[in-house]
Amino acid sequence: MRVKQHTIKKQVTVSGVGLHTGVISNLTFLPAPPNHGFKFQRIDLEGMPIIDADVDNVVDVSRGTTLEQSGARVFTVEHVLAALVGLEIDNVLMQLDGPEPPILDGSSMQFIEVLEDAGFEEQNALRRFFEVPESISYRDPAREVELAALPLDDYRVTVMVDYNSPVLGSQHASITNINQFKNEIASCRTFCFLHELEMLYNQNLIKGGDLNNAIVVVDRVIEDSELAHLAKMFNKDKVEVRKEGILNNVELRYKNEPARHKLLDVVGDLALVGRPIKAQILAARPGHAANVAFAKKLKRAWEKIGPNHIPHYDPKLPPVMDINQISNILPHRYPFQLLDKIIYLDDTIVAGVKNVTINEPFFMGHFPNNPVMPGVLQVEAMAQTGGILVLSTVNDPENYWTYFLGIESCKFRKMVLPGDTLVFKCELLAPIRRGIAKMKGEAYVGNTLVCEAVMTASIVRKES
């Protein structure tokens, strides 16, 4: 899986009719900054309201997933969200001039194609994964539905469907890595059973439905008069049934295309958790209602960890900035260059790493027989981490100095010793104004908070 966040390089648009509303719309994908996530914008409505792709905004799951925020709705979002997850895109704004994204051919493939045409841009921030810490499950015994997420350092999905249908039978589909989504899953189309068509039609759904954008499974004997009625419903001259029970002689792209599409729906609905997931997902007989209920359980689980949790440091992953890149920005040099890596950076938060060794020059005089890292240098290293955040707001950071203006509420909670790895996190408490930045800094060794302070700094051009 990608380590850093990605957006698209340029604006691209796809057009077509919505499956359930029948309204023709244009969906435009636009690049977005780090930590923006997926957002829809109804540009056809007054004020052009934005709807976050968040599971807590789901208001309807009847044959698709519908979001609502600020009085604006977007219908059937799962196929486009699945495409974004399958391409490991993290940040994009989707402007929509209608109530529903185009259904296109009923799969995610045409979204994939237009996004690939836009190209991908790596961003200067690590991805914020939700790494499932323990087994999380959801069950609906009445419908024999069960979903589970198991801890795994990857994203794998396995789906089983069983509709007691002689045509479909029991089907399975799986991907062992999200990069298989494009070739194995994205082209699989939505489907329904013949007996559901009339019900959906009478419920004012599938207004944009067509036998070219959905698979209709015929699981019973059908009379010629009913075929004629269906032809009239879909404005067709003639409707036929293949011997294996697929309406209008539609060829399946895979023998288990329905199961693969259910996997596509799972990926799209779980995108509403709000961050990329690391887990093994197992789903038996999933549907949108179960997917959304499960997504809510997953979101509640990562909320318990908290948005301000300790930055995850994996030394195997490439840093956002290495020591050479840090040296190009910060003016500090030996023995006061106290930062080794930047592992996270966005508009308001930065995280850095310092490896503490016995060879640090300050250990020669600071308790030589009981080496303890001076608290003042912990604060200095934390301030240098914050300096990267502040300097990242200007185009030419090498032409600026950063100066401390104040330290408040500073506390040292545990000694830092040789062999420790310090992870620093600094977060802006307010927007930077006139070069003045105020931020909360924290330093951790493992899961233990060892130092914290509120720091105020100023950036000044060197010419001044």
Which residues are designated catalytic? Answer: 288, 366
Residue 354, strand partner residues: 422
DSSP secondary structure string for all residues of 21-40: T--EEEEEEEE--TT--EEE
**Exposed / middle / buried, residue 269 (Cβ in 10 Å: 0-12, 13-18, 19+):** buried
Query: For 41, which DSSP code?
Result: E
Displacement of CA 362 from its chain's centroid (Å) = 43
Secondary structure of 132-183 as H, E, C letters: CCCCEEEEEHHHCEEEEEECCCCEEEEEEEECCCCCCCEEEEEECCHHHHHH
Altogether, the residues listed in the chain come to a count of 464
> Given CA atoms 447, 451, 457, 463 in this order, what sign does their dihedral have?
negative
Per the CB < 8 A criterion, the answer to whether 39 and 93 are in contact is yes
Give the span between the Cα atoms of 79 and 108, in whole angstroms. 5
Query: Residue 226 is inside which H or E element, if any?
Result: helix 224-233
Displacement of CA 352 from its chain's centroid (Å) = 23
What percent helix, strand, coil does the chain show, rounded to 5? 25, 35, 40
Q: Which residues of 320-333 are buried (b: 16+ CB within 10 A; e: fewer)?
A: bbeeeebeebbebe
Residue type for position 95: Q
Q: Identify how many contiguous H helices and E strands the chain contains and give both numbers.
A: 9, 24
Among 353, 397, 438, smallest CA distance to 126 is for 353
